Structure 1
Amino acid sequence: MNRKASIERFQNEEFDVCIIGAGSSGAGAALDAALRGYRVALIDRGDFAGETSSRSTKLIHGGVRYLEQAIKKLDLAQLRQVRHGLAERRTVIRNAPHLAHPLSLLTPVFSFFEGVYITIGLRLYDFFARHDTFPKGRWLSKKEAMAQMPTLTHNMHSAVQYYDGQLNDARYALALAHSAAEGGAAVATYINVTGFERNGNRLMAAKVEDVLTGTSFSIKSRLFLNCTGPYADAIRLMANPKIEPRIRPSKGVHITLPREVLQSDSAMLIPKTADGRVVFAIPFEDKVFVGTTDDDYADGTREPTLEPDEIRYLLDTLRPYVANVPDASEVQAGFGGIRPLIVSNRANTKALLRDHEVEEDPESGLLSLLGGKWTTYRLMAQDAVDRVAERLNSQARSETATHYLVGGENYRFDDWHTLQATYQLSPDVCQHLMQTYGNRAERVARLIRENSEWAERLCTEQPYILAEVIYQVREEMAVTIRDVLARRWRLELLDWRLTSELAPAVAELMASELSWSPDEQATYIRQYQALVATFIRQAGLRTDLITA
C-alpha cells in the first residue's frame, strides 16, 4: 500500500464508490467492491481500524446472549443475529487463518440446575452452528474444569465448555484494506472529510484534508458509502443536515491483567452480572482481557478511556469466578471502544440490536452502513456493496466469501521452522511473525539481509524485531508511532509501561523511513508518551507506570 500514490489517484481519478471509514465494515466493503471490478477509494480520518474496530473483545461469535434473549422473548430478530454470526464466524477464520482461530470458553456454574440450563442453551448454539467444524460444547466436572483453568474458584459446582472464535481485530481490518489495495482500490489513511461538493442536492465529490500535511483537495465519485460506525451521524448530517440521527453510541471498556489470572488457553464467559450483562475474560498474547461494559456515551469528540469505577466493576464481576482476584494495581493497561448501536425504542443500550442496516438518503444519495458487529463484517459489506451495485446498474456479485486475505492463502503455522532455519531467528520470533503476517512473514524476515541489525529485538519481553517496523512503514502504511504500537502490534492494549518505553526506538526506525527531522521525531515521541500517561492517570493507576 502506497499512501502517496493513492493520494495522487484521489486527485486525478473519478471513482465508482468512495468509502468513508476504514474499520471492519469500510475495509470489508472496499475489498468487496474492488473484487467486483469497481473503481474504489477508501479513506479514513485516522488509521485503519483506528477507532471501534481495534477495540473489540476480539471474539468472533454468534452471541450466546442474543440466543438466550431470542428464546426467552421469542425474538426472531435476535435469533437471526445468532444464525448470521455463526454462519460468518467460519468464513472469518477461513479467509485469514493466521489472524483468527477457534477459542475454547468455560462458563463456571454453581449448581446442577444452572449447569443443565446453560448446557441446553449451548446445545442449541451448537445446533445452529452444525455445519462448521468447531468442537462441540460439553459439560465438565469440577475436576475437568480445574485441569483446564486452575485458577477457577473452588466454590463452583462444574463448568460448561463451548467454542467460538478469536481474532486480532486491528490486523484483520488492516488485512482487509491491504487486500482491497492489491485488488485495485486507492487506499489512504489520515484523510479527513470536511464537506461535499454537489450537483443540486446530489453528492459529486468529497472535500478532504490530508491530516498529515494540511493539504486540501476533492475526491470525485459516483457514489459515497459512509462506514464510520459510531461517527456515522456526523457524515450523514454533513450530507443532509435535515435528517434525524440514527446512532446511539455505547461505551465498552476492557482491562488488561497478567496471563496468570487464568493460567489457561481457554477463555471464560461470566454469564451473570449485577446489571444483566455478560463479561468475558480472554487470553490474548501474553495477557488476559476482561470486559466489557455497556454504557451510554455522549461525548463523541473524546476518545473513550478506562476509568477507576470501570476497573472496580470488572474486577468485582470477576471475583466470584476465580480463586484469587487481582488487585487494581495489577491492571497493566486497558482500552475503550464505542459501539454503533442503531436507535430504537428499546430502553437501554445493552438491549439494542446490533444488527446492521444499509440506509440510503434519497436527497443526497449518501449510502450509510449502520450498526453491526465484527463477526458479520463481511455480510454487512456485501449488503452495502449490493446496494452500490443496484445504483450502478451492475450485475457483479460478491466474491468475498472465499477470498483469502493478505497473508492467509496457503498459510501453515509450522512454516516457522523454515523461517528459523533460513534466517536464524529465535523460535518465538518466528512464531510471532507467522501469526502476525501469515504467508508474508518471510517478506519481513528478508529485510534482515538489507540490514543485519534489523534482526534485533526491541525488548526482551516481546518477540518484536526491528525489521517489522520497517515492513509496517513500507508495506502496511504505518505513519505514526501509535499506528505501530497500538494496531500493527497490539502493545498499547497489553502493557502501557512497555509501550511508552519502546516509543523512542520505534520512532527512530520510522524517522529513517519517513524522513522525520530530529525535532519532529522528538515531538512525536513526547506527544505519544504524554497520551499513554494520560490513559494511566485517567484509569487511576500507579504513576510509576509512566515513563518520564
Structure 2
Amino acid sequence: MNRKKNWERLRQETFDICIIGAGASGAGAALDAALRGYRVALIDRGDFAGETSSRSTKLIHGGVRYLEQAIKKLDLAQLRQVRHGLAERRTVIRNAPHLAHPLAILTPVFSWFEGMYMTIGLSLYDFIAGHDAFPKGRWLNQVQALEKSPMLTRQMHSAVLYYDGQFNDARYALALAHSADEASAAVVNYAAVTGFGREKGQLKTAVVEDQLTGEIINVRATVFLNCTGPYADGIRLLANPDLEPRIRPSKGVHIVLPRETLQSDYAILIPKTADGRVVFAIPFGDKVFVGTTDNDYSDLAQEPVLEPDEVDYLLETVKPYLAKTPLGAEVQAGFGGIRPLIVSSRADTKTLLRDHEVEHDSESGLLSLLGGKWTTYRLMAQDAVDRAGELLKRTVPGRTETHYLIGGEAYRFEDWQVLQTQYGLPADVCQHLMQTYGNRAERVAQLTSKQSLLAEKLTDSQPFIKAEVVYQVREEMAVTLRDVLARRWRLELSNWQLTAQLTPQVARLMANELAWDDAYRIEQIQAYQNLLESFIRQAGLTANQSAVETS
C-alpha cells in the first residue's frame, strides 16, 4: 500500500463509492466493492482498525449469550443472528487461516444441574453450526477439565467444553484494507472527512484533510458509505443535521494478565456475572485477556481507557473460577473499545441487539452501515454494497465468501521451517512471521538478507524483529509508532511497560524509512511514552519500571 500514490488518486479520480471508516465493516465493504468492479476509495481519520475493530475480545462467534436470550424469549431475530455468526466464523477462518483459528473454551460449572443446562445449550449451539470444521463440545468431569486447564478452581463440579474462533482483529482488518488496495481501491489512512459538498442537496464531494500534512482536498464520488461504527452519528449529522441519532455507544474493557494465570491453551467462559454479563478469560500469545464489561459511554471525543473499578470488577469476576486469584499487581495492560449499538427501546446495553442495518438518507444520499459485530463483518459489508449498487443502478453479485485475504492463500504454518532453513532466523521468529504475515512472511525475511541488522530481535522476550518495522512502513502503511506497536503488532494491548521500552528502537527504524529528523523522532517517542504512562495512571496501576530511553 502506497499512501502518497493513493492520496493522489483521491485528489484526481472520481469514485463510484467513497467509504468512510476503515475498521472491520469499512475495510470489508471496500474489498467487497472493489471485487465487484466498482471504483472505490477507503479513508479513515486514523489508522486501519484504529478504534473499536482492534479492541475486541478477539473471538469469532455466533454468540452464546444471544442463543440463551433467543431461547428464553423466543426471539427469532437473535436466533437468526446466532445462525449468521456461526456460519460466518467458518468463512472468517477459511479466508485468512494465518490470522484466525478454532479456540477451545471451557465453562466451569458448580452443580450437576448447571452442567446439564450448559451442555444442552452448547449442544444446540453445535447443532446450529452444522457440519463445519469445528470440533464438537462435550461435558468433562473435574479431572478431565483440570488436565486441560490446571489453574481452574477445585470447587467446580465439572466443566463444559465447546469451540469458537479466535483471531488477530487488528491485522485482520489490515488484511481486508490491504486486499482492497490490491483489488484497485484507493486506500488512505489518517484522512479525515470534515465536510461535504452538495448539488441539489445530494452529496457529491467529501472534504478530506490529511492528518499528517494538513492538506485539504475534495474527494468526488457517486455514493458515500458511512462505516464509522460508534462514530456514525457524527458523519450522519455532518451530511444531514436534521437526522436523529441512531447509535448508543457502549464501553467494554479488558485487562491483561500473565499467561501463567491459566497455564493453558483453553479459554474460560464465565457464563453469568453478578450483573448478568458474560466474561471470557482468553489466552492470546503470551498473555491472558479478561473481559469484557458493558456500560453506556457518552464522551466519544475521549479514548476509552481502563479504570480502577473496571480492573476490580474483572478480577472479582474471575476469582471464583480460578484456584489462585490474580492480583491487581499482575495486570500488565488493558484496553477499551466502544460498541456501536443501534438505538432501541430496550433499557440497557446488555440487551441491545448488535445486529446491523443499512440506512439510506434520501435527503443527502448518505448510506450508513450501523451496528453489527466483527464476526458478521462480511455479511454487513455485502448488504451495504448491495444497497450502494442499487443507488449506482449497477448491481453486481458479491464474491467475498471465498476470497483469500492477503497472506491467506496456500498458507501452511509448517512453512516456518522453510523460512528458518533459508534465512537462518530463530524458530520462534519464523513461527511468528508465518502467523502474522501468512504467505508473505518471506517478504519480511528477505529484508534480512539485504541488511543483516534487520534480523535482530527488538527484545529477547518477544519474536519481533527489526525487518518487520521496515516492512510495515513500506507495505502496510504504518506511519506512527502506535500503528506498529498497537496494531501491526499487538504489544501495546498486552504490555504497557515493554511497549514503552521498545518505542525508541521502533522510532529509529521508522525515522530511517519516513525521513523523520531527530527532533520529530524524539517528540514522537515522548508523546507515545507519555500516553502509555497515562494509561497506567488512569487504570490505578503502579509502573514497576520506567521507560527512560528517548534518543
TM-score range, shorter chain: over 0.9
1:217 aligns with 2:217: yes
Residues 453-492 of structure 1 mapped to structure 2, 5 A cutoff? 453-492=453-492
> In the alignment, which residue of structure 1 is the partner of 2:150?
150
Q: Report the 3-state secondary structure (helix = DSSP H, G, I; strand = E; otherwise coil) of the residue aligned with 1:179.
A: helix
Q: Give the share of equivalent positions with the same residue, in percent.
A: 72
Which structure 2 residues correspond to residues 116-195 of structure 1 after superposition, within 5 A? 116-195=116-195
Cα offset, 1:133, TM superposition: 1.4
Pair 1:523-2:523 in alignment:
yes
SS of 2:383's equivalent in the other structure is helix
TM-score (norm 1): 1.00
- Deviations along 1:58-110, whole A, 9 cap, x unmatched? 00000000000000000111101100000100000000000000000000000
Query: Given the alignment of the two structures, is residue 275 of structure 1 paired with residue 299 of structure 2, yes or no?
Result: no
1:349 and 2:344 correspond:
no
Q: Show CA shifts across 1:205-238 (max 9, x none).
A: 0001000001111100000000000000000000
Contact 1:419 1:442 in 2 (8 A): yes
Q: Partner amino acid for 1:64?
A: V
Which residue does 1:113 correspond to in 2? 113
Code of the aligned partner of 2:249: P
Q: Could you list the per-position Cα deviations for residues 416-454 of structure 1 after superposition, in whole angstroms to 9, with x for gaps in the alignment?
A: 000000000000000000000000000000001221100
* Rounded Cα–Cα distance in structure 2 between residues aligned with 1:367 and 1:545: 48
What TM-score results when the alignment is normalised by the length of structure 2? 0.99
- Equivalent residue of 1:339, what SS? strand
User: Is 2:379 aligned against 1:379?
Assistant: yes
Residue 546 of structure 1: CA displacement? 4.0
Size of the aligned set, in residue pairs, is 548
Query: Which amino acid in 2 is paired with 1:242?
Result: D
Q: C-alpha distance in 2, partners of 1:397/1:545?
A: 55
What is the alpha-carbon distance in structure 1 between the residues aligned to residue 172 and residue 414 of structure 2? 21
Distance 1:546 1:246, change over 3 A: farther
Partner of 1:320: 320
2:450 and 2:420 map into 1 onto residues whose CA distance is: 17
Considering only aligned residues, what root-mean-square deviation do their CA atoms show, in Å?
0.5
Residue by residue, what CA displacement relative to the aligned partner does 1:456-510 show, whole Å, maximum 9, x if unpaired? 0000110000000000000000000000000000000010000000000000000
Instruction: Report the Cα offset of residue 545 of structure 1.
Output: 4.3
Alignment partner, residue 21 of structure 1: 21
Amino acid corresponding to residue 253 of structure 2 in structure 1: V
Partner letter of residue 60 of structure 1? I
Give the 3-state SS of the residue equivalent to 1:15 in structure 2: strand
Residue in structure 2 matched with residue 398 of structure 1 by the alignment: 398
Query: What is the alpha-carbon distance in structure 1 between the residues aligned to residue 387 and residue 192 of structure 2?
Result: 24
The structural deviation recorded for 1:543 is: 2.8
Separation in 1, partners of 2:273, 2:437? 37
| Shift, 1:131, TM fit | 2.7
Instruction: Tell me if structure 2 keeps the 8 A contact 1:378–1:400.
Output: yes
Which secondary structure does the structure 1 equivalent of 2:401 belong to? helix
Q: Alpha-carbon deviation of 1:392?
A: 1.1
Checking the alignment, whether the CA contact within 8 Å between 1:208 and 1:216 is kept in structure 2 is yes
Give the equivalent residue in structure 2 for 1:285. 285
Query: Structure 2, unaligned stretches of length 5 or more?
Result: none
User: Match of 1:447?
Assistant: 447
Following superposition, the deviation at residue 272 of structure 1 comes to 1.3
Q: Which amino acid aligns with 1:312?
A: D
Distance 2:544 2:325 in 1: 22
Aligned equivalents of 1:544 and 1:9: distance in 2? Answer: 48
**TM-superposed deviation, 1:130:** 1.1
Q: Counterpart of 1:49?
A: 49
2:497–2:543 contact (8 Å) kept in structure 1: no
Partner of 2:532: 532
Contact 1:202 1:365 in 2 (8 A): yes
> What's 1:89 paired with?
89
Give, in whole Å, the separation in 1 of the partners of 2:395 and 2:332. 51
| Partner Cα distance (1:336, 1:393) in 2 | 41
Q: How does 1:54-93 map to 2 (within 5 A)?
A: 54-93=54-93
Name segments (4+ residues, structure 1) moved above 6 Å: none
Give how far 1:547 is off. Answer: 1.8
Q: What amino acid is the match of 1:71? A: I
User: Aligned pair 1:208/2:213, yes or no?
Assistant: no
- How many angstroms apart in 2 are the aligned matches of 1:329 and 1:79? 41
How many angstroms apart in 2 are the aligned matches of 1:543 and 1:279?
26
Structure 1: 5+ residue stretches without partners: none
- State the one-letter code of the partner of 1:490: R
**Residues 201 and 363 in structure 2, CA contact (< 8 A), matched pair in contact too:** yes
* Counterpart amino acid of residue 534 in structure 1: S
Aligned counterparts, 1:399-418, within 5 A: 399-418=399-418
Deviations 1:8-41 (A, max 9, x none): 0000000000000000000000000000000000
